Amino acid sequence: MFNLGIEEVKPKNLISKHIKIIGSKVIHIGDKKFDKFKSIIPICIGKASVEMAICFNEVLKKNSSKFYFKVKKGFLVVNKENFKTVENFHCFFAGHPIPDEKGLEASSFLVNYLKSFDEKDLIVLMLSGGGSAMLPNPPNSISLEDKICVNQMLLSSGANIKEINTVRKHLSSLKGGNFLKHSYPATTTSLIISDVVGDDLSSISSGLTVPDSTTFENAISISKKYNIWKTFPKNIKHYLSVGIKSPDLETPKKNNKIFENCFNSIIASNSISLDCIKKYLNSLNSNIECKFWKKNIEGDVKEVAFEFVKYVSTYKNKNPLILLSGGETTVKIVGSGKGGRNQEFALYVCLFMKKLMPKKKYFFLSGGTDGRDGPTDSAGGIVSDNTLELCNKENVDCEKELKNNNSYFVLEKIDSHIKIKGTNTNVADIQIFALL
């Protein structure tokens, strides 16, 4: 079921649906028709970039004999795990989730490349999750090291992705709509694979082509809320403080003319993945009851896991139950262990099921659709009613290890990881619960 949800949102099943060439001078991208441009430039950013670029080339090759537009060399940046070179693209890989020098190199190239286009050019931006980390482009007064430091603090603080991106946008000359400052007056049309809860366009890869409603003041408030402002590097604190008093430094807002030539379309999301799984289960015509718990879960992973199990405990039907949910929880790192939000979610469900429903048989999966959970090679975990018994046999104290954020170790000892490598897509996390 998990793999089915991932397949539904892979570029190979999306790009040909959303890019169609009609005749020799018209191209449909998303729900828009374009016919007045001399050239097209494909730009792919995020974890799905390689496959999106390959699929873009395939669409064009099928229509190359009649296609009027000139296709300029494209640009792609992707995480190292998913990297491949693609014909007719400038190809880069970059660090994720922590930015690195390779990402800085890719960002610098992209900024200069965007400035070379004019009103006769159409940029086809194919965007997926991960772009925030892959395209670090800090102002001149901020070093990459400072930006990496802040990024690590944010990821460990317990802040949600929208809050993290608010700070990121105000430390970048690409994010928060700033991409268009470099590309204008070229027209940009975006096809977006959403990896954020609620499909908020301004949060996907920190809203490269979307007006930003947040401010420097918001960025400072968030860092203070999570008690990390005092430990920010001096250059970061100085730049954010200056930004409050400098309108020119602020991210572009919705009335800015640069957004007149920009069109954004979401082509895949967490909700689409979950709907696909439910449709498959309903097609089985079995006595299994399939329900959604929540489609946009957010919040502290331990609290969400307890809320989830509490909901399960109210189920009274005698039929087997498949419960689906999706979104993105947060983990506040207080220990020195290794793990990720999905791995912790799975183990917390075990602990709470033991307390609230000790006699019930079940299986539970929580996994990242990109194939990677936190800074690990695991996408998440699959657990069941005998998981804690297996832990005891291995002399593993699950509760103690979770307090140390050491979920990876626990799941490794009992062979319960999901290890599927990079999936070339990303629509946040999926949970599948089977109550037998």
Give the type of residue at 62.
K
Tokens in use for 418? 């999901």
Task: Give percent of the chain above pLDDT 70.
Answer: 99
| 33-37, 49-53, 134-138: least confident range | 33-37
Between helix 234-244 and helix 216-225 the angle, nearest 10°, is: 140
* H helix count then E strand count, the chain: 16, 16
Same domain? 256 vs 294: no
* C-alpha to C-alpha distances, 433 to 283, 316, 383, nearest whole angstrom: 18, 16, 10
Counting the structural domains of the chain, the total is 2
66 SS3 class: coil
Same domain? 286 vs 263: no
Q: Kindly state whether residue 356 falls inside one of the protein's structural domains.
A: yes
* Run of H or E including 326: strand 321-327
Region 398-413 average pLDDT = 97
Of the residues 238, 268, 298, the one at which a domain ends: 268
Same domain? 195 vs 74: yes
Q: What strand order describes the sheet that includes 19-22?
A: 19-22, 26-29, 32-34
Q: How many CB atoms lie within 10 A of CB 304?
A: 22
CATH of the domain at 183: 3.40.50.10180
Note the pLDDT tens digit of each residue in 129-154. 888 889 999 998 899 999 999 989 99
Note the pLDDT tens digit of each residue in 157-179. 989 888 998 999 999 999 999 99
Instruction: Kindly tell me if the per-residue pLDDT of 66 is higher than 70.
Output: no
pLDDT, averaged across the chain: 94
Same domain? 37 vs 103: yes
Report pTM.
0.89
Per-position b or e across 210-230, b if 16+ CB within 10 A of its CB = bbbebbbebbbebbeebebbe
408: containing domain = 270-435
Q: Which residue would you say has higher pLDDT here, 85 or 129?
A: 85
Region 106-135 average pLDDT = 95
Q: Kindly state whether residue 226 falls inside one of the protein's structural domains.
A: no
Q: What is the pLDDT of residue 67?
A: 66
Same domain? 339 vs 378: yes
Classify burial at 333, counting beta carbons within 10 Å of its beta carbon; exposed 0-12, middle 13-18, buried 19 or more.
middle
Q: Which residue has the tokens 């999306």?
A: 14
CATH of the domain at 284: 3.40.1480.10
Per-position b or e across 387-414, b if 16+ CB within 10 A of its CB = bbebbeeeebebeebbebbbbbebbbbb
